[in-house]
Amino acid sequence: MREAFRGVHISPTALERLRSIQRERGLEDCALRFYISGGCGCSPQIAMAFDREVHPYDHVFQVDGLKVVVDRDMLAIVDGARVDFVQTPMGEGFTIELPPQPVHAEAEHQHTCGCGDGRCGCSH
């Protein structure tokens, strides 16, 4: 059985930037939603955006007063993720670092990357 959802860590710098975006764009009534924007089961690409809608199947929680929404099917993927806002000479933006995901033995035999999805084309 899976242990309780621990949440998502959002750095103080990222929180400050997210709140600034909310104010600038009039999105104070929105929640920050995490979603899969691409990738495969072994290495999903996670993105985030402000969303006005909260669905019955969403898990809703707060991070230092910021309302966060995650589809319940994504809880295991983002549980323990770390969000930061970085500025480099190449530009600035948010980073989302996901915790390591477990690899299931039966999937490992079906596909070289361990995700079990033969359509993803991974070869790592």
19, part of any domain: yes
DSSP state of 14: H
SS3 105: helix
Contact by Cβ (8 Å): 115, 107? yes
122, part of any domain: no
Domain tally, the chain: 1
28, part of any domain: yes
SS3 49: strand
Question: What pLDDT is recorded for position 103?
Answer: 59
**Domain assignment of residue 57, given as a range:** 9-110
Question: What pLDDT is recorded for position 1?
Answer: 37
- Work out the number of other CB atoms within 10 angstroms of the CB of residue 73: 10
115, part of any domain: no
CATH of the domain at 104: 2.60.300.12
In order along its 124 residues, the chain shows pLDDT tens digits of: 345 667 899 999 999 999 999 999 999 999 999 998 877 666 678 999 999 999 999 999 999 999 999 998 888 889 999 999 999 899 999 999 988 766 554 444 444 555 555 545 554 4
Question: What pLDDT is recorded for position 63?
Answer: 92
20, part of any domain: yes
1, part of any domain: no
